[in-house]
Structure 1
Amino acid sequence: MDVVSDAISSVRTGRPHSNRLRVSGSWCTRIAAYEGAGFHVVLAGDCWLLPEGGTGIPLGPGDVVLLPHGAGHVLADGPVDAATAARATPFEEAGPGDALSDVGGVGGVGGVELLCGKYRLDRSRTHPLLAELPQVAHLANRADRPPELRAAVALLADELDGRRPGSSLALPSLLDLLLVYMVRAWLARAATGVWPAVLNDPVATSALRALHAEPAAPWTNDSLAARAGVSRATLARRFTALVGRPPMAYLTWWRLTLAAARLRDTDAPLAAVARETGYGSPYALSHAFSREFGTTPGRYRAQAV
């Protein structure tokens, strides 16, 4: 596994949910803040998105918007100010849900067609890479957009139109791919930020790949430095400066994050979770887990159900 994949898989729960909407005329709908990540793909037409406390963003065909922290926002047929946004129709009251819907106005040819959806995320252990994402990541349909994101949007549009056999499996899988591609596209184009710099540094990236590929391995600063091809001092200096914590501190944090995900998502015995995350015994894991989370693994698992 790589850092981006692990960062997403450690917090993602359940399956993504999506609605395909067709709207026309004059319309304005408000989507409340959500404990997860939201997204919109403009399949046809033009509209505007106004995030809470932000400025309006014009959207056109093929544009993709990721709201990684579940920020509340307004979608409308045109520019909208704060006063208009306050009177927007709540999304839950605007359409029948999963069906191809009309939200306000009169639906029909020539309107706006959107794929709107949400990913369920457990934010209790959000990886700093995801925490650094902006409230709104607008990935416009430009010529320099990553080809895999463009392909994912096209495949989604085809799958939605075709209603082919197997679509109930294909659609969630494509939505999972879309999330990875949206995060990857933001990282590739970000002019500033900690994690774009981390993933562009060969030493930090090599060390992170090793830790994420083998989190249960008996890593030391010396063995990790050897894997990265640098001295122990160089690794400690560059890794800590970029990632924000020393390599072994990051490894401990990541092992406990993985343990929490395993406790949340599976019924694996504590001994198995301990082996998978580099702890020599259930007692050792329980001690470290309680120190980090303020609760025992058993209680954490019971509360996560």
Structure 2
Amino acid sequence: MTKALTFMSGLLDRQEAESRLIAWVMDVIADMLSAPQGGGAEAATLRASAPWGIKHGRAPSVSFHLVTHGLCWLRIPGMEPIRLGTGDLALLPNSAGHALASDRQGALLLVDGVLRKRTDGAGSEIDIAGEGPRTRAICAGYRARHPLPAPLRAMMPPALHLSAQQLSARRDLADALRMLSDATTTHLPGSAIIVDRLVDVVAVHMLRSWLPADLAATWPTLHRDLAVATAVTALHQELGRPWTLDELAEKAGLSRATLTRRFNGTLGESPLRYLRRRRMELAARRLRETDDSLARIAQHVGYRSEFAFSRAFSQTIGMAPGRYRMDSRQQHGRGRSDPPSHSGVT
């Protein structure tokens, strides 16, 4: 009986750790998709006739490719090329340098050299003329974002591939892809905003389809480290709380030094640095999506003064919050007037 109780207790602890870990990783993914540097998603429609090939450089973020007609090869250095047929979807969690081409090998052009911006701001177009079979695809990703933490990058495969048959069983993802295809091929008002949101939806669905099956088995460090998972969960639940390292260490049941060492080892940064980044990402989201004053946003993310908040935001994001709000709205063409600044920060 004692052994059975001990086993059940251990099982519940593992299940709790897994649950916290999965929730944390989904939060990290959400943060990555809404991180403020560069801001926004991009999508391009590709129309190419063989022979052709385009090369994407390495970028610290997510990208994906949906083949809507024909076929192509996804070429990633050090890997066997992946054949993508009509209806296939491939996602690169960390946008490793890669190429799309009509053949398994052959010459490549840099994608920046063949992109043509659409006038409605809803993406770009790539047209490559040739005499051979024609391929159409949607290529999407993010201009510049925070990368995933190093342990998460290490555990994920270079590419997640779903065949057309697998996608047919995922109605939620198939619907999002259909809407994205419509948004990138029509020229209607608001297309840029729709593309932004749908790229997020597709990326989250793809990452979520991979996450539950592989997470606990492939990231044993955090899976075992319930203390770090507890600290991360506490920060997420109360981002606006004036946390000290002592309070967080007590919450995790560790000393300050041990928590810092284990936090750094698992997430690649200290607890308080992680907290500030999370706060600034939340603040950036509110600057983009609301008309809240700087004072209200500062209070929401745990700062007592607009000055302290503005300084932290500028150090983290690289520009003052007022300037960030104005630039992000101009970039997305939302046409909303900026709220009056009560801090004089621009």
Q: Give the TM-score normalised by the residue count of structure 2.
A: 0.59
Change (3 A) 1:27 1:199: farther
1:277 matched to 2:297? The reply is: no
Instruction: Give distance in 2, aligned partners of 1:274 and 1:74.
Output: 43
1:115 matched to 2:138? The reply is: yes
Instruction: Give distance in 2, aligned partners of 1:21 and 1:295.
Output: 33
- Give the counterpart of 1:206 among 230, 233, 237: 230
Change (3 A) 1:31 1:250: same
Provide the identity percentage: 30
* Contact 1:56–1:80 (8 Å) recurs in 2: no
SS in 2 for 1:30: strand
Change (3 A) 1:296 1:105: closer
> Pairwise CA RMSD of aligned residues?
5.1
Runs of at least 5 residues in structure 2 that lack an aligned partner in the other structure: 1-25, 329-346
Change (3 A) 1:191 1:216: closer
* Contact 1:45–1:112 (8 Å) recurs in 2: yes
* Contact 2:115–2:124 (8 Å) recurs in 1: no
SS in 2 for 1:137: coil
Change (3 A) 1:13 1:166: same
Report the counterpart of residue 179 of structure 1 in structure 2.
203
Change (3 A) 1:148 1:225: farther
* Contact 1:23–1:104 (8 Å) recurs in 2: yes
For 1:217, the aligned partner's letter is R
Say which is worse superposed, 97-106 or 261-270, in terms of deviation.
97-106
Report the counterpart of residue 43 of structure 2 in structure 1.
18
SS in 1 for 2:297: helix
SS in 1 for 2:30: helix
- Give the counterpart of 2:159 among 116, 127, 138: 138
SS in 1 for 2:63: strand
Report the counterpart of residue 47 of structure 1 in structure 2.
72
Instruction: Give distance in 1, aligned partners of 2:124 and 2:30.
Output: 31
* Contact 1:22–1:107 (8 Å) recurs in 2: no
Instruction: Give distance in 2, aligned partners of 1:201 and 1:157.
Output: 37
For 1:231, the aligned partner's letter is G
Change (3 A) 1:45 1:304: same
1:103-125 Cα offsets, whole Å, 9 max, x none, are: 434688xx54422223343x4xx
Instruction: Give distance in 2, aligned partners of 1:220 and 1:190.
Output: 30
Runs of at least 5 residues in structure 1 that lack an aligned partner in the other structure: none
- Give the counterpart of 1:76 among 101, 105, 125: 101
**Could you tell me how far 1:28 is from its partner in structure 2?**
0.8
* Contact 1:137–1:186 (8 Å) recurs in 2: no
1:9 matched to 2:31? The reply is: no
Change (3 A) 1:152 1:287: same
Change (3 A) 1:180 1:202: farther
Question: What does 1:1-305 correspond to in 2, within 5 Å?
Answer: 2-11=27-36, 16-21=41-46, 23=48, 26-31=50-55, 33=57, 37-43=62-68, 45-51=70-76, 57-61=81-85, 62-67=87-92, 73-81=98-106, 84-85=107-108, 90-92=113-115, 103-105=128-130, 112-121=135-144, 123=145, 126=146, 128-129=148-149, 133=153, 137-141=158-162, 150-159=170-179, 160=181, 172-184=196-208, 189=214, 197-198=221-222, 201-221=225-245, 223-224=247-248, 230-233=252-255, 236=259, 238-259=262-283, 262=286, 268-289=292-313, 292-293=315-316, 297=320, 301=324, 304=327
* Contact 2:41–2:195 (8 Å) recurs in 1: no
For 2:142, the aligned partner's letter is Y
Change (3 A) 1:304 1:130: farther
Q: Give the TM-score normalised by the residue count of structure 1.
A: 0.66
* Contact 1:39–1:116 (8 Å) recurs in 2: yes
Change (3 A) 1:181 1:209: farther
Instruction: Give distance in 2, aligned partners of 1:216 and 1:107.
Output: 58
**Could you tell me how far 1:216 is from its partner in structure 2?**
0.5
